Amino acid sequence: MVKRSKLLQALDAHKGRDYEAEKQKKMIKTAEKKKAGKKAAAAPEDKVSEEKGEQEEAESSEAEEEEEEEEEEEADEDEEMEDEEAEEDIPLSDLEEDEREDVVPHQRLTINNTAAIKSSLKRISFISAQTPFSEHNSLVSQEPIDIEDPNDDLNRELAFYKVCQAAATTARGLLKKEGIPFTRPGDYFAEMVKDDEHMGKIKKKLYEEAAGKKAAAEARRQRDLKKFGKQVQNAKLQQRHKEKREMLEKINTLKKKRKADSSAPTDDANDMFDVAIDEVAQSEKRGNGEGGTRSSKRQKKDAKFGFGGKKRHAKSGDATSSGDLSKFSAKKMKGGAKRPGKSKRHAAKGRN
C-alpha cells in the first residue's frame, strides 16, 4: 500500500473523495456478480460449481489486482504532481529580469484569524484588571518611541533606556502601593558570587600587574636618564678634547714663532717650560704605559682580572718591579714563632 502525502490527503478531503468508500463499493459489486452467477446456474454439477468457484476467485483476485494497480497509478500521478509543483514553485528573487516576464506569479494562501487568536490568548491569559502587579511584574510602555534613524545604535539604545527607566519608576510605585518590599535591608548579609579566596587571588593579581607596570615605568625612566647622562658625558669629553687640542695648537704656534725669531734673547726658564709641556703631551699620547698613573678603580680591576698587557716575563725582575714597594708590608714579613726544643716537645707530648 503506497503512502500518500499529507498535501494530497488534504486535497482529496477538500474535494470530498473517500478511498475507503470507493473500495467498499467495488467489493459490493463483486459480491453482487457472484450472487448473479450462482442464481443462473441453480443446479449445476459439482465440477461446474468448482469451475465457477475458481472463476469467481480468479475474478475477485483480478479485481483486487486492478484496484491495487489503480491506487499505484494514482499515487504515481500524485507524486508527479508534487514534483511538478516543487519544480514550479520558484521564488521571484531567484529569477532574472528577463525570466520574470514569462512567469505567472503565485501567492500562497495565508490565514490570519485574529479573532480566534485573541480568544485563545484571552483563554490562556491569567492577567486581568483585578490581578495584583506583584503576581506578574509585567508592564506595557505607554511612552511613544520615535526614532528618526533606526540604524543609529546610540539613539535606539537611548530610547530603550528611557522606556525601561519609565517602566521601573511605574513598577516601583505599584509595589509600594501594594506594600511589597523590593529593596534589601541594610543589615542583610548576602554571600558573594565568588568566595573570599578567589577574590584574594584576583586582588593579588591586580597588585602584581600594578607593581609590574610601575617597575617597567621606573626602568624606562632610568634608561632615559642613563642615555641622557651618557650624552652629557660624551659632550663634556668632546669639549675637553677640543679645548686640549686648541691649547696644544696655540703652544705649537708659539714655539714655532720663537724658533723663527732666533735673534730674540733666550730665556732658560721658558725653554724648560716648553720641554715640560712636550713631555706631558707625549706621555698623554702614549696613554697609560709604564710611566702613566692609573686610577684606583683600574688598579683593583687589574689585580682581580688582569690588565691584558704582556704575558711573557711577567715575573722577571727589572728596575721598575724592584723599585715598586706598594705591596710590601713589614707586618706580614715577620716570621712565625720558633720551634720549641726537644725536651719541651717531649714534655708536652707526655702531658697529652
At 242, the pLDDT band (50, 70, 90 cuts) reads very high
Rounded-to-integer distance, Cα 117 and Cα 124, Å: 11
Question: Other CB atoms closer than 10 Å to residue 291's CB: what's the count?
Answer: 9
pLDDT at 122: 84
- Which span out of 19-28, 65-74, 100-109, 168-177 was modeled with the highest average pLDDT? 168-177
Helix-helix angle 268-286:196-260, to 10 degrees: 140
pLDDT at 86: 46
CA distances from 262 to 256, 268, 342 (A): 10, 14, 85
| Weakest-pLDDT range from 243-247, 279-283, 300-304 | 279-283
Rounded-to-integer distance, Cα 1 and Cα 71, Å: 8
Residue count (the chain): 352
Claim: this prediction has a pTM higher than 0.85 = no
| Weakest-pLDDT range from 79-93, 102-116, 302-316, 328-342 | 79-93
Helix-helix angle 46-88:19-40, to 10 degrees: 160
Rounded-to-integer distance, Cα 301 and Cα 304, Å: 5
pLDDT of 50 above 80: no
Phi first, then psi, for residue 62 (nearest 5°) are: -65, -40
140-191 residue pLDDT tens: 887 778 888 888 888 899 999 999 998 999 999 999 999 988 888 877 777 7
Question: Comparing 278 with 252, which gets the higher pLDDT?
Answer: 252
Please say whether the beta carbons of 258 and 264 come within 8 A.
Answer: yes
Please say whether the beta carbons of 8 and 84 come within 8 A.
Answer: no
pLDDT at 87: 47
Question: Comparing 302 with 330, which gets the higher pLDDT?
Answer: 302
Rounded-to-integer distance, Cα 154 and Cα 89, Å: 42
Q: 71-92: string of b/e by CB count within 10 Å (b at 16+)?
A: beeebeebeeeeeeeeeeeeee
Q: Could you tell me which residues come within 8 angstroms of residue 126 by beta carbon, excluding any fewer than 6 positions away?
A: 136
Rounded-to-integer distance, Cα 191 and Cα 199, Å: 13
- Provide the greatest CA pair distance for the chain: 188
